Amino acid sequence: MALMTGEQYIESIRKIPMQIYMFGKKVENPVDDPILRPALNSVRMTYDLAQMPEYQDLMTAISPETGERINRFTHIHRSTDDLRKKVKMQRLLGQKTAACFQRCVGMDAFNAVYSTTYEIDQKCGTHYHENFKKFMLYCQEKDLTVDGAMTDTKGDRSKTPHEQADPDLFLHVVERRPDGVVVCGAKAHQTGIINSHEVIVMPTIAMGPEDKDYAISFAVPLDSEGLYMIVGRQSCDTRKREGSEMDVGNAEFGGVEALTVFDHVFVPNERIFLNGETEFAGMLVERFAGYHRQSYGGCKVGVGDVLIGAAAVAAEYNGASKASHIKDKLIEMTHLNETLYCCGIACSAEGHQTASGNYIIDLLLANVCKQNVTRFPYEIVRLAEDIAGGLMVTAPSEADFRDAKLGPVIDKYLKGVSGVSTENRLRILRLIENLALGTAAVGYRTESLHGAGSPQAQRIMIARQGNLEHKKALAKAIARIKEDSSL
């Protein structure tokens, strides 16, 4: 099958009878729901750009298995060049949508599961790698969007999975059958799952032998019996139902998260990639987390480009663009944003080949990348809010602006520099509000902190991979220290 067009993708999602709930009701038509449609449009962009010759090199790749051109989101990284192109592709999509385009989790799961299953098979004589390759080829051939599900709800964080009062607080196997397994549990914060065809499920932490039933990885379609999703709320989300393009800020694109429940979902044997081999759960988590932390050096940078541009436009409309302190703030925003990009490119360039043949990033640098992402976007947002001014959060609604009596008053008093309409000034301020505080904030500011693991999770990995003993040895060598082992 050829690469899907954006419209073909939309219609393919329309045909899937997903069980989606929002505001206490089942969503009968999620594709056309005004709150959910912008997130679908963001994923559509990953298909639209893949059709454009000028973006073919970034958005697509040649599958070494079939020789066919595929969407890069279903590709297995075969070189450090692939890793760099991934980051550049993510920056491009961030620039085009100013939102979360939702396919990164699945792409990162693809590559983590690919290498981990190979190593499980080598040690345990299982067939997980062949299972995954068949699934991978199916997704490449159909040009499917695949989500990745790792984060369990966790319950009492002081307890391991098998110690929880409610065993479902970590997704686990509840029944083993000759033809597969049945699982129960939930995965939280599932980015873009309602816009996906399939989902890859992975364990969320390293596990011991007692957690065997929780060491499970598999893939199922989104219309699987027993699988349903509860859409998460976002700030200002119901503005999308009001029919105001201006008040939304980013009327076309957005992101979506959901709590995804697996209520006795059956998984056939051929779709299982890990099943009780607890010693490999940590490897899968670490590799997925590394890939996903690399991703933030691309997607958040692209959205940051839009926010920096919006702040610069707001400064022009306010008549403040020539002020030295405004110029300095824009320089600082650019410096921080490009630093994030440097980290994404660096961990890609320093990647290496795994035993399976695919390439993984430098894990230390990937964690440094994400650690910076937990901080820098907050400062970029702060500076953007500073430049925009208080009107960003006190401007009247579009309904007031269009009102016959109130509109002329708003137009008179909220006008900025001559030659720029009040409407355009309000539009750019609403975009900044959307990126800083509104529905896009979940895909930029807040997600920058918690996505791909908490800041502490990255610090743990940095400590583990920082090789402090090697650094101490370097210092001792320069200082000509000779230690007496008898002391």
Neighbours of 265 (CB within 10 A): 21
342 is catalytic: no
Q: Which is catalytic among the residues 9, 60, 97, 104?
A: 104
Greatest CA separation found in the chain? 91
204 is catalytic: no
CB 180 within 8 Å of CB 267 = yes
257 is catalytic: yes
347 is catalytic: no
CB 46 within 8 Å of CB 93 = yes
Q: Which is catalytic among the residues 292, 317, 359, 374?
A: 292
354 is catalytic: no
Q: Is 106 exposed, middle or buried (0-12, 13-18, 19+ CB in 10 A)?
A: buried
114 is catalytic: no
Q: How many CA atoms lie within 13 A of 194 on its CB side?
A: 33
Q: How many CA atoms lie within 13 A of 480 on its CB side?
A: 0
How far apart (Å, rounded) are the C-alpha atoms in residues 27 and 20? Answer: 6
296 is catalytic: yes
Q: Which is catalytic among the residues 74, 277, 278, 299?
A: 299
Q: Which is catalytic among the residues 74, 145, 151, 191?
A: 191
Q: Is 28 exposed, middle or buried (0-12, 13-18, 19+ CB in 10 A)?
A: exposed
Q: Which is catalytic among the residues 9, 114, 291, 296?
A: 296
21 is catalytic: no
Q: Which is catalytic among the residues 198, 257, 385, 433?
A: 257
The tokens for 27 are: 């969503």
Q: Which is catalytic among the residues 47, 100, 422, 433?
A: 100
Q: Which sign, positive or negative, has the C-alpha torsion 216, 221, 224, 229? A: positive
Which residues are known catalytic residues? 100, 104, 191, 257, 292, 296, 299, 447
